Chain A
Amino acid sequence: MLRLAPLVIAAFLAIVSPTSAQVPFGEASTVKEGLEIGTSTSEIAITSDFRGADLTVFGALTNADELFLAIGQYDVIVTLEGPRDYATVRRKERVLGIWMNTNSMTFELVPESYSLASTREIDTIDEEPSLNSIGVGINHLALTPTGYIGNAVDLSDFRDAYRRLKLASGLYQRDTSGVRFVSSSLFRASLRLPANIPDGVHTVRAYLFKGRELIHERELPLRVVKTGLEQAITDTAHNRPITYGFLCVMIAVITGWGASLIFRKD
């Protein structure tokens, strides 16, 4: 039942908003705002000395309403979502004096990494139910458990733990002043990519809000790739594991044998 609530409210808003928006700004509504974004790079390379990176996303508002710009009623949220996968959260309990994993919960296809930048605190940009429905913000990402759920308290505990751990590991981050308007219609967002960022296709998404209402959404892919030797090693390990294992053993044999030759006493 609880899961239906945001949907119902979102549907309600969708019906209500067009009429309420039309009354005060009837004249301006003929020209629609546009949003364009671009990134400083379309590919991030993980090299052997990779310690994280910064990604800059540039964006432009077209046909912006001067009045709304002047009173700061346009807000931008930019996110970088990592590849999605299932995530299992486990909880330890004391059993016979030893702390061991006893309970677990698996969430459906959640981003492995998530970085967010916004013009201000996102809860002041839009209402919580609509943020939940578009899934923007660390606290608003859909965390849908798979299988049987014991009770609602557990569910919220596991969700909180998931967010807390992801934030602590740096895989999830937010910067509520990460989006800056460099001119009246041009903005720049800085996103931090942690050192432990997963490789794969990430998605940059920009959301434009006008007076607490989402009016535009744009997305761009960003590839995060392990380069050179790292890539070769990972590829070999996963695609040709026997060759890889053999190589590991050979290195050990050569190292061990070599040492006994070099350090031979006679």
Chain B
Amino acid sequence: MTVYLPIAELSVNIFIILGMGAAVGFLSGMFGVGGGFLITPLLIFYNIPPVVAVATGANQVVASSISGAISHFRRGTLDMKLGTVLLAGGLAGATVGIWIFSWLRRLGQLDLFVSLLYVVLLGIVGSLMLNESVRALRRSARNEPPITKRPGQHIWVHRLPFKMRFKKSKIYLSAVPVVVLGFAIGILTSIMGVGGGFIMVPAMIYLLRIPTNVVVGTSLFQIIFVTAYTTMVQAATNYSVDIVLASILMVAGVIGAQYGVRVGQKLRGEQLRALLALLVLAVGIRLAIALVIKPEELYSVAVGAFAN
């Protein structure tokens, strides 16, 4: 059964889109990630124009992040104040990101830039995660206790000015690195169509030393508002959010996520992280291959005149 996507301006098989949404939803439920970094490349592999894939991906992340954020809010593992500071940076970053996005689109370099950014980020994050989880797996195989961080350790981040007290997280931290992190993630949201949790969560834990229990909920809080804002701005400037495509992905995604969560609870944390790392690396490698092998067609056509 085909369905016409009014913004992407092409007909697609509805079952493929449903399958894609459900599969990514399943994985995102299993690993506790938003899934934007999988949805956007998959849509691009399925010939959806990258402009539409990125904007629609951001819209899909809104839906997949909300249910997670709600449950964290109920459990009290969401630091509103920290989230708001992150969000301030995120909104500014997303605005700059949209501007870069439109500029790259005019130059005809958007597709390349999106792919490159994915290759670099997925490559780095995937390798780091794989390295870390393999070590953890070895440790648990030898029955060694996990290495815990020494409390009270001071790094350069803690010497920055504009310190704020975040009661829920029980930390006293400068607002500067939080805003900067939010800003960087905001740029990624608008250019890559991701929530950015896969970068934000490790950065909050390892760089900002924010207690692990509030990290996921707080990052989800930031992601909801930044992706919602990005969806609005993409719709207003690039007219590239496909509501039909997004709706199919969202419905399939939230259902898939429920089953993913159940499977995820049966697997151990280290195994789960190793699997996710392999998945992240696989997507990155697939995109990298597309960049380096000689394309069958060197030319491409776009409607409209662009400044050279």
Question: Which residues of chain A are within 8 angstroms of B293 by Cβ–Cβ distance?
Answer: 99
In the bound complex, what is the Cα–Cα distance between A196 and B12 (angstroms)? 11
In the bound complex, what is the Cα–Cα distance between A34 and B241 (angstroms)? 50
Kindly state whether residue B144 has any CB partner on chain A within 8 Å. no
Size of the B side of the interface (Cβ < 8 Å), in residues, is 59
A91 touches B299 (CB 8 A): yes
Kindly state whether residue A74 has any CB partner on chain B within 8 Å. no
A86 touches B304 (CB 8 A): yes
A249 touches B239 (CB 8 A): no
In the bound complex, what is the Cα–Cα distance between A229 and B239 (angstroms)? 17
Of B133-141, B163-171, B243-251, which stretch is located at the interface? B243-251
A252 touches B63 (CB 8 A): yes
B157-202 at interface with A (beta carbon < 8 Å): none
Kindly state whether residue A166 has any CB partner on chain B within 8 Å. yes
In the bound complex, what is the Cα–Cα distance between A165 and B297 (angstroms)? 9
A-B contacts counted at CB < 8 A amount to 187
- Cβ contact of A98, chosen from B62, B112, B247, cutoff 8 A: B112
Q: Given that A248-B241, A249-B231, A257-B66 are contacting pairs, would A233 and B250 also be in contact in the complex, using a CB cutoff of 8 Å?
A: no
Question: Which residues of chain B are within 8 angstroms of A247 by Cβ–Cβ distance?
Answer: 243
Size of the A side of the interface (Cβ < 8 Å), in residues, is 62
Query: Mask for A66-100, Cβ within 8 A of B = 1, else 0?
Result: 00000000000000000001111111111001111
Kindly state whether residue B45 has any CB partner on chain A within 8 Å. no
B228 touches A249 (CB 8 A): yes
Kindly state whether residue A176 has any CB partner on chain B within 8 Å. no
Q: Given that A104-B306, A195-B11 are contacting pairs, would A97 and B292 also be in contact in the complex, using a CB cutoff of 8 Å?
A: yes
Question: Which residues of chain B are within 8 angstroms of A252 by Cβ–Cβ distance?
Answer: 59-60, 62-63, 66, 228, 231, 246, 250
Query: Mask for B277-308, Cβ within 8 A of A = 1, else 0?
Result: 00000000000000111110111111111101
CB-based nearest B residue for A260: B67
Question: Which residues of chain B are within 8 angstroms of A260 by Cβ–Cβ distance?
Answer: 66-67, 70-71
A101 touches B6 (CB 8 A): no
- Min CB distance B235 to A, Å, is 3
Of A22-30, A41-49, A117-125, A182-190, which stretch is located at the interface? A41-49
- Top 9 A-B pairs ranked by shortest CB distance? A256-B66, A245-B235, A260-B67, A161-B299, A259-B254, A252-B62, A86-B305, A245-B232, A252-B63
Interface residues of A (CB under 8 A from B): 46-51, 85-94, 97-101, 104, 106, 112, 146-147, 158, 161-162, 164-166, 168-169, 195-196, 198, 226, 229-230, 233-234, 237-238, 241-242, 244-249, 251-253, 255-260, 263
